[in-house]
Amino acid sequence: MDELVALCKRRGFIFQSGDIYGGLQGVYDFGPLGVELKNNIKQSWWESMVYENDNIEGLDSSILTNPLILKYSGHEDTFSDPMVDCKSCQKRFRADQVPPECKEEDLTEPRQFNLMFKTNVGPIDDGDNFAYLRPETAQQIFTNFKNIIDSTSKSLPFGIAQTGKAFRNEITPRNFIFRVREFEQMELEYFVNPGDDEEAHSSWVQKRLDWWVNQGVPMKSIQLYDVPKDELAHYSKKTIDIMYEFPHGVEELEGIANRTDFDLGSHSKKQSELNINASVTKNKDSNSKLAIQDENGNWVVPFVIEPSAGVERGFLAILNEAFSVEKLPDGKERTVLKLKPHLAPIKIAVIPLKKNNAEMVACAKKIVKELQTLKIGRVVLENTGNIGKSYRKHDEIGTPVCITVDFESLEGKGVTLRDRDSMEQSRIDSNNLNEIISSKIKL
């Protein structure tokens, strides 16, 4: 973990937020390379959900959340963690995360602590006019269910996908970006006919595993945890957690829950007409029936399968898998991030052999401009004048391909292509560059 944290800071992936003022615990900023990697992870998820499935639609809902949503979802009553104080070190911990130095007899009895952030809305700060910062992206998917059905004419099974920020006032944020107070989720709510839920659940577990493998997180680093009944969230009939071997231990990367008809049932009006399976609180405030009519005119509240992944945890897992330190034949070491090309923050670096040779630099810039038209992501000019150093830097940040422009390039004799993983160099005709690059950086 220490090596990853150091690399992230040194190369501009991740910084402690507000660090010039001492930072803010559990909050991080993503730098120039971090924002690219994060966007690429979210884009890959979005493509696998929305673009590759005709029956999945996207959504981008608000972060500020009407408190009634989180009342009926159950979050106001149940979204809490047990907290204890240590009378000796004067610190506060989540009850299951007390460090071994704190003695049992110094700890207070656990008290429940709600994890939702509240903020004042409008000019009067009297405690009544507030909204929550959403603790998960899922809830506004449920509250938009009718809007989306009405505007897209979907029938079961279909899904609504959303990526975006979520906020939790974690008692003990820790392990770098693993447990933080502000993070992003990638959530799908997949609506199915009751009775089809168990099969859909198993199928989504497999699809999500395949997706992680395609991002460079291999099955050997993954374990599945079938969450026991007494640990299930209040809405879940069954949850399989995808557990990953993080540098600090095996912990949850993504959860795939069978949420039954709990959510739509909870947020619906006229619940008594709907034959809801789950045990829900009587809803006196909703103005919408969150159900659909079958061919016989009967109201059906769909069951929901929810694959829910954290972007930061994905980022950490992908970085951890890609990170390697290799011994070179000359005895030196190189650090290389073997990221899948579609995730790499920089796709191509074009390097002029001589930084002060105007013709060579102009030729390199022309190649950069041409490759940028391929829309494969960032293509940059690396004009340091030191080829060895440039290769090392781009190995360390995961750039899959470097292109070197030299004196022969100026005579129309092609450019050198250098592969990050094999370090092999090949001479190629500049006229074939676009085609070769497109095939190497498959998106």
Residue among 4, 49, 116, 138 that touches ligand GAP (CB under 6 A): 138
- What are the angstrom distances between the C-alpha of 168 and each of 80, 154, 172, 246? 10, 33, 11, 21
Binding characters for ligand GAP, 107-136, by CB under 6 A (x = yes): -----------------------------x
What is the distance between the alpha carbons of residues 142 and 290, in angstroms, rounded to a whole number? 8
Question: What binding mask, one character per residue, do residues 8-47 give for ligand GAP by CB under 6 A, x or -?
Answer: ----------------------------------------
Site string for ligand GAP, 343-362 (x = CB under 6 A): --------------------
Beta pairing partners, 377: none
Q: Which of 75, 94, 179, 237 binds ligand GAP (CB under 6 A)?
A: 179
- Kindly state whether residue 312 participates in binding ligand GAP, applying the rule CB under 6 A: yes
Pairing type for strands 92-94 and 80-85 reads: antiparallel
The binder of ligand GAP chosen from 215, 236, 271, 308 (CB under 6 A): 308
Q: Is 254 near ligand GAP (CB under 6 A)?
A: yes
Residue type, 214: N
Q: Dihedrals φ, ψ of 22, to 5°?
A: 95, 0
CB of 163 to ligand GAP, least distance (A): 11
Please say whether the dihedral angle defined by the alpha carbons of residues 283, 289, 290 and 293, taken in this order, is positive or negative.
positive
310 binds ligand GAP (CB under 6 A): yes
Q: Is the separation of the CB atoms in 68 and 285 below 8 Å?
A: yes
Tell me if residue 279 falls in helix, strand or coil. coil
The dihedrals phi and psi of 198, each to the nearest 5 degrees, come to: -70, -40
424 in Cβ contact with 441 (< 8 Å): no
Q: 76: closest CA among 116, 119, 111, 110?
A: 116
CB 211 within 8 Å of CB 244 = no
Q: Which residue lies nearer to ligand GAP by CB, 254 or 382?
A: 254
Compare residues 158 and 178 and give the one whose CB is closer to ligand GAP: 178
Q: Tell me the C-alpha distance between 223 and 424, whole Å.
A: 35
CB of 174 to ligand GAP, least distance (A): 10
Q: Which one, of 111, 2, 14, lies nearest residue 311 by Cα?
A: 14
Chain residues 313-332 in contact with ligand GAP, contact rule CB under 6 A:
313
Using the minimum distance from each CB to ligand GAP, give the nearer residue, 187 or 197: 187
Stretch that binds ligand GAP, among 37-45, 207-215, 308-316, 426-434 (CB under 6 A): 308-316
Measured from each CB, the residue nearest to ligand GAP is: 310
With binding defined as CB under 6 A, does residue 164 bind ligand GAP?
no
- Residues that bind ligand GAP (rule: CB under 6 A) add up to a total of 19
Residues contributing to the site for ligand GAP (CB under 6 A): 136, 138, 168, 170, 179-180, 183, 185, 187, 252-255, 306, 308-310, 312-313
